[in-house]
Amino acid sequence: MMDQSVVCMNILCQTELAAGADCIKGWSLRSGGFANLCHNCGNAYEQQKFCELFHLDDTGWRECTSCGKRLHCGCIASSAFVVLLDNGGVTCVSCSNSPGNYPKTREEKPKETGITVENKVGEARAACIDNHVKTGNLSKIDLTILDGEAADSSEKLLLPSDNHDASKSQTKPHEKAACSSIENAHKDVYGSPVQTNLTIGLNGSPAKAVFNTSNKAVEEQEVKPTLSYFPQGIWSRHILPKSIIPQGFSNANVDVSSQIRVARPPVEGRIKNQLLPRYWPRITEQELQQISGDSNATIVPLFEKVLSASDAGRIGRLVLPKACAEAYFPPISQPEGLPLKINDVKGKEWMFQFRFWPNNNSRMYVLEGVTPCIQSMQLQAGDTVTFSRMEPEGKLLMGFRKASTNASVQGSTYSHLSELPQNASWPANEQHGIKLMAGAFPPSMLAPDKKRSRNIGSKSKRLLIESQDSLELMHTWEELQDMLFPSPLLKATIVTIEDNDLEEYEEPPVFGKGSIFTVCSSGEQEQWAECDNCSKWRRLPADFLLPPRWTCQDNVWDQHRASCLAPDELNPRELENLLRNAKVSALLI
DNA sequence: GCTTTGCATGGCTGT
DNA sequence: CAGCCATGCAAAGCC
């Protein structure tokens, strides 16, 4: 039985607790063996053991072996994103994320068998834990660190083991099973990074698409885009220097080292259920900068959620997606949960109660007490709240995006991926600066003003978009299929499959520029395209396939209008008719 | 009587 | 079909 005052290992809890006494939440502190369980967050801890194992000083602090920043034992013991080195050192995530700054220790050289990080692009990266833990103690501690659910099912087995043998630990069979499952989960998550990283995107690696000669994609052999998404929030970006990454996606290739130990709690639910795309953070670089302010902090976008009516209602409970809650918030074993400090973009600190309800042998996670925050942000159903984490402090940040912002269109630049169906794994076009035109994208995206969103009937209160928009979006997706075509810069390899000549390309398809087709008085079909420089509309042959970017200089069919200085062929009224007709046509389709 | 809390239900979505 | 999650509802608490 311990009698010294200790601090809960959870960085977001860190309640100071005395063995045998009640913690500040009024829950009695359970004591057993050499460890205690914080009933705030459910984390098992034992200060002395942690201090020994991680060479913490008496106050439970330790310096990052890379940058010298002070790391609290809570960081090391919980999901606070500290990388453990084979040589016994620890480093903060910001160091582990900084190319060239890792691995190294201040006092000693890293072991050859230690950690390697391959970082091809620099910002987004993933770390992977080697499931070979060399010491028994570390093995146990790692379980504490790694498994958020562990607090649920295997509190005792989380204890350091060297001062109490197996007989004393009284591990029950089901706990052993839990231990096994944890270890398996450990291997599943970190031993096989492919399983945990969803790779999406346009740039990059092995991509091969096959088209038939009419440029319609008839078969997709292997289109393996490489925008990366890390459900564990591992992908991060440094605000400074600024990078060009589209909303919600990293354009970085990510290589995963299998030789790094990361103090990050794997959660079985996260293994089984990848984070749904609708929760992928779509925060923009600008928003990230806004959040980070002038600080040199790294903002890790975690997830976001469109507020439901009940979320935004007066009841003050925000239902959290289970996978997100388990992946990014501190592990909780008691339904009471724990208080969670979250800062908003203005720097104001909010205290919510992060808890869960048992639900059909599962859990339903909620943030309670959100009403003041929701009201402060003037949010309502349909708006989006975003959750991020500031590194290296591990501070949680809460931002928001008004639905009106989501739906707005500035100019014709398609700069809001959030407009697209949330389950669509589509690359962010703005990465390439693509502008899409009236005929290519839904009229709703071109319309300057819109009614505010409402629920689509009673069946799907989850998607808060105009029913008209939903039709338009569907139409747009169909059109998008036709917009994909091989880059004009690439030469195709003709392959014959079952007497059909197919064009094979080594690169994935690109977006073609949208256009408007009209029929002139003579009955001849013609095409109108908007210049990407001057936004003037030019007449083109109907059979011309527009590249992603097209300007007046490319107008080889009309030398008089092959310059942006040339006046519009259409007067404002004709242009208005053209756009309106295009809108009507799109709706009819 | 109103609000808060905790649980249950069932629609919906992803596998 | 499993399970997430939006929401309804009853019980408890509070004014």
Please work out, in degrees rounded to the nearest 5, the angle formed at the alpha carbon of residue A503 by the alpha carbons of A500 and A508.
135
Pairing of strands A261-263, A510-511: unpaired
From the Cβ of A199, is strand C under 7 Å away? Answer: no
Residue scoring higher pLDDT (A341 or A512): A341
From the Cβ of A462, is strand C under 7 Å away? Answer: yes
What's the confidence (pLDDT) of residue A381?
80
Paired residues of A6 in beta bridges:
A17
- Mean pLDDT to the nearest integer, A161-175: 32
- Show which positions of strand B are touched by protein (CB under 7 A): 4-15
Among residues A445, A451, A434, the alpha carbon closest in space to that of A512 is found at A434
Please work out, in degrees rounded to the nearest 5, the angle formed at the alpha carbon of residue A333 by the alpha carbons of A328 and A336.
95
From the Cβ of A321, is strand C under 7 Å away? Answer: yes
Alpha carbon distance A387, A281 (integer Å): 8
What's the confidence (pLDDT) of residue A557?
84
In 3-state terms chain A splits into helix, strand, coil percentages (rounded to 5) of 25, 25, 50
Any idea which nucleotide's C1' is nearest the CA of A366?
A: C5
What's the confidence (pLDDT) of residue A315?
83
From the Cβ of A322, is strand C under 7 Å away? Answer: yes
A278-290: buried (b, 16+ CB within 10 Å) or exposed (e) per residue? Answer: bbbbbbbbebbee
Any idea which nucleotide's C1' is nearest the CA of A324?
A: C4
Interatomic CA–C1' length for residue A355 and nucleotide C11, angstroms: 20
Question: If pLDDT is split at 50, 70 and 90, which confidence band does A541 have?
Answer: confident
Q: DSSP per residue over A61-95, as a string?
A: EEE-TTT--EEEHHHHHTTS-EEEPTTS-EEEHHH
Return contacts of A491-496, CB within 8 angstroms, 24+ apart.
Answer: A492/A211, A495/A210
Any idea which nucleotide's C1' is nearest the CA of A315?
A: B4
In this complex, which residue's CA is closest to the C1' atom of nucleotide B14? A276
Each residue's pLDDT tens digit, A573-586: 888 787 777 655 55
Alpha carbon distance A109, A332 (integer Å): 38
In this complex, which residue's CA is closest to the C1' atom of nucleotide B10? A459
From the Cβ of A361, is strand B under 7 Å away? Answer: no
From the Cβ of A359, is strand C under 7 Å away? Answer: yes
Question: If pLDDT is split at 50, 70 and 90, which confidence band does A448 have?
Answer: very low
What's the confidence (pLDDT) of residue A401?
80
Paired residues of A35 in beta bridges:
A32
Q: How far is CA A512 from CA A202, A471, A479, A509, A519, in A?
A: 14, 22, 11, 9, 21
Interatomic CA–C1' length for residue A360 and nucleotide C3, angstroms: 9
From the Cβ of A458, is strand B under 7 Å away? Answer: yes
From the Cβ of A460, is strand C under 7 Å away? Answer: no
From the Cβ of A277, is strand C under 7 Å away? Answer: no
Interatomic CA–C1' length for residue A396 and nucleotide B1, angstroms: 39
Residue scoring higher pLDDT (A239 or A37): A37
A14-45: buried (b, 16+ CB within 10 Å) or exposed (e) per residue? Answer: bbebebeeebebebebebbbbbbbbbbbbbbb
Each residue's pLDDT tens digit, A316-345: 888 888 888 887 888 887 788 888 888 887
What's the confidence (pLDDT) of residue A281?
65
> Which of the listed ranges A182-196, A358-372, A462-476 does the model predict with the highest average pLDDT?
A358-372
From the Cβ of A360, is strand B under 7 Å away? Answer: yes
Residue scoring higher pLDDT (A396 or A137): A396
From the Cβ of A459, is strand B under 7 Å away? Answer: yes
Name the least confident of A84-88, A178-182, A294-298, A524-528: A178-182
What's the confidence (pLDDT) of residue A59?
44
Whether the per-residue pLDDT at A556 is higher than 80: the answer is yes
From the Cβ of A422, is strand C under 7 Å away? Answer: no
- Mean pLDDT to the nearest integer, A138-142: 29
Residues 6+ apart with CB under 8 A from A167: none
What's the confidence (pLDDT) of residue A387?
85
What's the confidence (pLDDT) of residue A351?
82
In this complex, which residue's CA is closest to the C1' atom of nucleotide B6? A357
From the Cβ of A368, is strand C under 7 Å away? Answer: no
- The dihedral through the CA atoms of A347, A352, A354, A359 has a sign that is negative
Q: pTM of the full predicted structure?
A: 0.36
- Mean pLDDT to the nearest integer, A526-553: 81
What's the confidence (pLDDT) of residue A311?
87
In this complex, which residue's CA is closest to the C1' atom of nucleotide C8? A310
Interatomic CA–C1' length for residue A538 and nucleotide B10, angstroms: 54
- Mean pLDDT to the nearest integer, A281-298: 64
Alpha carbon distance A508, A202 (integer Å): 7
- Mean pLDDT to the nearest integer, A46-57: 45
- Element spanning A396, H or E: strand A395-401
Among chain A residues 460 through 479, which have CB within 7 angstroms of nucleic chain B? 460, 462-463
Proportion of chain A above pLDDT 90, given as a percent: 0
Any idea which nucleotide's C1' is nearest the CA of A323?
A: C4
Each residue's pLDDT tens digit, A304-322: 888 888 888 878 888 888 8
Interatomic CA–C1' length for residue A81 and nucleotide B12, angstroms: 35
What's the confidence (pLDDT) of residue A398?
85
From the Cβ of A319, is strand B under 7 Å away? Answer: no
Q: Which two tokens stand for residue A97?
A: 């994320």
Whether the per-residue pLDDT at A518 is higher than 50: the answer is yes
Residue A169: burial class (beta carbons within 10 Å; 0-12, 13-18, 19+) = middle
Any idea which nucleotide's C1' is nearest the CA of A313?
A: C7
Q: Residues A209, A201: contact at Cβ < 8 Å?
A: no
What's the confidence (pLDDT) of residue A153?
33
Proportion of chain A above pLDDT 70, given as a percent: 29
Among chain A residues 525 through 554, which have CB within 7 angstroms of nucleic chain B? none
CA atoms within 13 A on the CB side of A489: 7
Residue scoring higher pLDDT (A36 or A345): A345
Whether the per-residue pLDDT at A61 is higher than 80: the answer is no
Q: Residues A352, A339: contact at Cβ < 8 Å?
A: yes
Question: If pLDDT is split at 50, 70 and 90, which confidence band does A85 have?
Answer: low
Each residue's pLDDT tens digit, A350-405: 888 888 888 877 888 888 888 888 888 888 888 888 888 877 777 888 888 877 54
Any idea which nucleotide's C1' is nearest the CA of A381?
A: C6
SS3 assignment, position A159: coil
Calculate the average pLDDT of chain A.
Answer: 52
Alpha carbon distance A386, A403 (integer Å): 13
